[in-house]
């Protein structure tokens, strides 16, 4: 989580057994190509959001085995001394590419590609998956909630319900990338500059003899940023009246305005409509209404449809844990190896489940967009040395239903994977977190509305180039004999 944290040993044990085996068999230096991709979008959605790249870069930059690591591995009794010496002098030398954080991503396409000695490219599998899977899951969930809010701010309030410290801090970071306006997590603000915000808990109100005294005390301490929690006792009979009284008797004499009120329980639609009317009648038209309490994208959508008067949402456990679907499901598969002359030998995984058949070879991903609308049309996976020339008509086709074809003109083609490491040297240029968030919001806005439906979204096509499809077909036909 912090810059000083080293996660080299956070891996599955079989990564060590395979690495030791590669070395003993004399194939550890064989150049291999691995892809990370995912097969299904969480919550039945139409798109996911890429996140976690900066933490992946940090992990790869800090790969090293110290003496305690070597001593532990020696104690297991199953690794040769040659392998332990290799780890002691470990130098990462792989090439790595990844989709930029904040970009919409889709099933089947490589979102991380690693090329390098198989002993290294295989070893990093666990952390590649852990890092990208977790943050992409939370960023995707946040994006859904932000869209449901229709321009109203969504704040991440889930640290106390997260799965551990990493889940709380990096989950808040991912939620911000997905479009959340801020977080309650102070550590995430300190480390990653995600704006932290918060006011009071019910215990503040309970500590004082009366609700009004609690509000008065808070307003005196924070006159410029006063938001009051009004549901400790009774929202309409005491909470709102005491908030109005605080505005009139405490804040307005100081030349200040009541910034907002928060409701954390009850019939939110009914209470917010009544509260808005009471605030407006008191001249507090600028006082914002914030709600919290086990929210998700569907409840947010329904509240807005019911006419609830809400300016912002505080979302906790259902965002920070992606409670409705808590697994992203990215996988890491071998796509090719090099022979002694440097020629790429494509590799494919066959399965009875069609969705588990992998795309072979060293590949690139292109995002095609319509020049007239700016909207994304489709993604195309090509061989690594192919270039899509947007100055010429280009035909895309469904790799499963190949008769479904479309010839594009007046389009743009952008390579999606960006290089992070070149022969082990980091070439990634960090971006400000606000820049990543803006890029995400702008990119999602370029998706067609049909793709963004919560139920039964239109499928965004990820196609194969003709050359790649031919390679895959040849491998499949060869396996049949």
Residue ranges per domain, the chain? 13-138+326-479, 198-293
| Percent of the chain surpassing pLDDT 90 | 96
> What's the predicted TM-score (pTM) here?
0.96
Region class of 44: left (phi > 0), else alpha (psi between -120 and 50), else beta: left
- C-alpha torsion sign, points 137, 141, 142, 147: positive
DSSP per residue over 70-136, as a string? HHHHHHTS-S-HHHHHHHHT-----EEEEPPTT-EE-TTS-SEEEEEEHHHHHHTHHHHHHHHHHHH
Task: Name the token pair of 65.
Answer: 């085995």
Read off the pLDDT of residues 150-201 as tens digits, 9 standing for 90 and up: 999 999 999 999 999 999 999 999 999 999 999 999 999 999 999 999 999 9
Q: Which long-range contacts (CB under 8 A, 24 or more apart) does 196-205 make?
A: 197/155, 198/157, 199/226, 199/227, 199/228, 199/229, 199/262, 200/228, 200/229, 201/229, 202/229, 202/232, 202/264, 204/229, 205/229, 205/232, 205/233
d(CA 403, CA 405): 6
22 in Cβ contact with 118 (< 8 Å) = yes
With a cut of 50, say whether residue 275 has pLDDT above it: yes
| Domain over 13-138+326-479 is classified CATH 3.20.140.10 | yes
State the CATH architecture for 198-293. Alpha-Beta Barrel (3.20)
Read off the pLDDT of residues 291-313 as tens digits, 9 standing for 90 and up: 998 899 999 999 999 999 999 99
With a cut of 60, say whether residue 413 has pLDDT above it: yes
């Amino acid at each position: 989580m912090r810059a000083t944290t080293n996660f080299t040993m956070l891996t599955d044990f079989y990564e060590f057994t395979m690495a030791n085996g590669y070395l003993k068999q004399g194939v550890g230096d064989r150049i291999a190509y691995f892809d990370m991709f995912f097969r299904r979008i969480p919550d039945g959605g139409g798109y996911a959001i890429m996140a976690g790249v900066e933490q992946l870069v940090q992990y790869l930059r800090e790969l090293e085995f110290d003496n305690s690591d070597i001593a532990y591995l020696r104690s297991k009794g199953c690794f040769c001394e040659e392998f332990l010496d290799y780890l002691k002098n470990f130098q990462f030398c792989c090439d790595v590419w990844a989709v930029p954080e904040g970009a919409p991503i889709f099933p089947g396409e490589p979102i991380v590609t690693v090329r390098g000695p198989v002993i290294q490219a295989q070893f990093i599998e666990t952390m590649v998956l852990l890092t990208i899977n977790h943050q992409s899951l939370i960023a995707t969930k946040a994006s859904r909630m932000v869209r449901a809010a229709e321009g109203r701010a969504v704040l991440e309030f889930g640290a106390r319900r997260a799965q551990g410290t990493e889940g709380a801090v990096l989950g808040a970071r991912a939620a911000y990338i997905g479009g959340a306006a801020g977080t309650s997590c102070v550590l995430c603000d300190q480390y990653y500059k995600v704006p932290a915000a918060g006011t009071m808990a019910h215990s503040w109100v309970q500590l004082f003899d009366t609700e009004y005294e609690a509000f008065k005390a808070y307003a005196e301490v924070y006159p410029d940023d006063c938001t009051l929690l009004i549901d400790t006792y009774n929202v309409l009979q005491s909470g709102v009246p005491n908030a109005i009284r605080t505005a009139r008797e405490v804040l307005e004499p100081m030349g200040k305005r009541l910034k907002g009120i928060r409701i954390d329980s009850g019939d939110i639609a009914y209470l917010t409509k009544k509260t808005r009317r009471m605030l407006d009648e008191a001249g507090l038209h600028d006082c914002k209404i914030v709600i919290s309490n086990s929210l998700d994208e569907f409840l947010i959508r329904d509240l807005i449809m019911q006419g609830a008067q809400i300016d912002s949402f505080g979302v906790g456990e259902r965002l920070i844990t992606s409670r409705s679907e808590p697994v992203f499901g990215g996988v890491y598969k071998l796509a090719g190896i090099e022979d002694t002359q440097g020629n790429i030998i494509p590799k494919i995984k066959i399965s009875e489940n069609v969705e588990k058949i992998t795309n072979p070879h060293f590949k690139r991903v292109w995002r095609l967009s319509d020049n007239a609308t700016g909207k994304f049309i489709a993604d195309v996976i090509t061989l690594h040395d192919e270039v899509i020339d947007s100055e010429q008509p280009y035909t895309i086709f469904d790799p499963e239903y190949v008769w479904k074809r479309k010839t594009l003109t007046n389009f743009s083609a952008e390579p999606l994977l960006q290089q992070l490491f070149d022969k082990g040297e980091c070439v990634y240029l960090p971006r400000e977190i606000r820049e990543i968030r803006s890029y995400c919001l702008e990119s999602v806005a370029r998706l067609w509305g049909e793709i963004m439906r919560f139920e039964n979204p239109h499928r965004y096509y990820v196609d194969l180039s003709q050359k790649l499809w031919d390679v895959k077909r040849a491998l499949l036909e060869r396996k049949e004999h």
